[in-house]
Amino acid sequence: MTPTDIRNPDYFHKVVDCQWACPAHTPVPEYIRLIAAGRYADAYMINWKSNVFPGILGRTCDRPCEPACRRGRVEKEPVAICRLKRVAADNKGDVRARMPHRPAARNGKRIACVGAGPASLTVARDLAPLGYEVVVFDSDRKAGGMIRSQIPRFRLPEEIIDEEVGYIADLGIELRLGKRIDSLAALLAEGWDAVFVGSGAPRGRDLDIPGRKEAAANIHIGIDWLANVAFGHVDRIGKRVIVLGGGNTAMDCCRSSRRLGGEDVKVVVRSGFEEMKASPWEKEDAMHEGIPILNYLVPKEFLHENGRLTGMVFEKVAAKYDEKGRRQLVPTGEPDVRLPCDDVLVAIGQENAFPWIERDIGIEFDRWGLPKVDPKTMRSTHPKVFFGGDAAFGPKNIIWAVAHGHEAAVSIDKLCSGEDISERPAPGVTLVSQKMGIHEWSYDNDVSHEERRRVPLRPLDVALKDIRTEVELGFDAKLAYEEAQRCLNCDVQTVFTGKLCIECDACVDICPMDCITFTHDGEEEELRKRLKAPAWNPTQDLYIGGDLKTGRIMVKDEDVCLHCGLCAERCPTGAWDMQKFFLEMTHAGAACRS
């Protein structure tokens, strides 16, 4: 096998699984160590540079980092990365002096952003300090997009949204709120240097079954209903509520219903519980509030009397799989299920809606009605029009919208500088030894055996009284420190120098995970099977070290390494070292240009 080239930033980046999995590639272990040290403002600013909305995401992120967390490979629960992010936001103090300043002069380039959601705000945050004149349009009277309109206040207080949107507004962008864009052609005719479309996926899917029209007064589209609740247009619902759908929007609908008068609230899903798209913790929170989730029921009919909704009829189905593993829902033949209700919330998915984009201006759409967008540059088939967030590839989540915004801002900056936008900037990388003595490191390498800390919740009798009362209380300093200690410091890398190795096997003997093997070379598939502990995860690369005097190779299974540093402590020649790898994505600005 070819010796590993650790100069390639992707190699060690993949070892930091949480950062690799984060769409914005936030340096997770670095900010967790800062939280453990009580340096909350520093931790917040690292987050702010990468993910733009630490306080918001610390409460609402879909947490792609956590399933990737290495801690989950050595025990059941990963580090509570998302909730630690909130700790930094809640305890940071006043960080306004650390934010970028408004530019002294404009650079003459004008950028329009359609929609004031997380993707557009990220573009504005990246470009405004560089001197761009950025104007953000939104039909709502307040900026934030789906962050403000679709996430209930019991999960995300409005003051957190105001604060973090305010940091971006203070950079000198112009917010034209209450301003709907009805024609992209007309907008382009105004001579903008680039247009970014971050208008989200604003249309909720409906359910066309018998009784839909007759009982329409009490059948609500989930995302529209949530927006009406958020802006104060709706403040009550019937006592018996059915929520259709298995995603996070459905969970927000059912939990909001409990707070607005719903006493008997049920979630009904056509799939199995494990197949629901809602995050596991969202389902757990709903059930904690006394909301049952009924599975394998397909909506068949809305029942009504004299124009008033009285209930729903469902067909019972079961999942059957063919020889290729494809699922099909088939009727069980059991009697239909009838559930009484006063209101139904339909949360079965969202769709993009672009009636305001003319089809003859150079923007191509696919057969699903989505614009054709380059996933690397975020540019459409029109050279000056970029998309991001849900508007680009359909509904995802806030952190993906942020990542799209960063990439689009890089593209717009390069476009306006006359550069090839397909040439993407390399990340900034440092690799620094953590050695302070023979057996002493500048990071805490003791592996904590504590279990994951649970976030304290407000008592149910208090939480359910007011839809604006935040349910999660967050970690205090003690809980935050204990949870931060569970991080395995995956960014502190084991770096091997073969020419210093005397092949004494001291590192092999002391490794608690048996992840180091000295052996003869071979093909990877065969080699993985004969390591001291076979390496079964092919998605994580093997670390191959050469230059050994015997001609053998050193093979390290990165998949289960605890980064405890015992190999480096035991090594008598210093062939092993613990070096902190810090990777920071390059955003719009001089560093992104050739």
Per-position DSSP letters for 166-222, written without gaps between them: HHHHTTT-EEEET-----HHHHHTT--SEEEE-----EE-----TTTTTTGGGEEEH
Question: Do strands 350-351 and 203-204 pair parallel, antiparallel, or not at all (unpaired)?
Answer: antiparallel
Structural tokens at position 262: 């719903």
Answer yes or no: are the C-beta atoms of 413 and 407 closer than 8 Å.
no
3.50.50.60, 1.10.10.60, 3.40.50.2300, 3.40.50.300: which CATH number matches 204-348? 3.50.50.60
- Say what the pLDDT of residue 411 is: 98
CA distance 391 to 144: 15
How confident is the model at residue 59, as a pLDDT?
97
pLDDT at 436: 86
Angle subtended at Cα 183 by Cα 180 and Cα 187, rounded to the nearest 5 degrees: 90
Q: Which residue has the tokens 């015992």?
A: 566
Residue reference for tokens 């998309």: 387
- CATH T-level assignment (fold) for domain 99-202+352-416: FAD/NAD(P)-binding domain (3.50.50)
Phi and psi at 549, nearest 5°, equal -65, -30
pTM (2 decimals)? 0.94
Q: Which residues of 261-300 are buried (b: 16+ CB within 10 A; e: fewer)?
A: ebebbbbbbbbeeeebbbbebbbebbeebebebebbbbbe
Contact 36, 51 (CB under 8 A): no
In our burial notation (b when 16+ CB lie closer than 10 A, e otherwise), range 540-568 reads: bbbbbbbebeeebbbbbbbbbbbbbbbbb
Contact 44, 89 (CB under 8 A): yes
- Give the pLDDT score at 75: 83
Listed in sequence order, the residues at least 6 apart from 110 whose beta carbon sits closer than 8 Å to its beta carbon are: 132, 133, 135, 191, 192, 193
Cβ(61)–Cβ(85) under 8 Å?
A: yes
* pLDDT beneath 50: ranges in the chain: none
Cβ atoms within 10 Å, residue 325: 6
User: In the chain, which residues fall in CATH 3.50.50.60?
Assistant: 99-202+352-416, 204-348
The confidence score (pLDDT) of residue 384 equals: 98
pLDDT attached to residue 324: 83
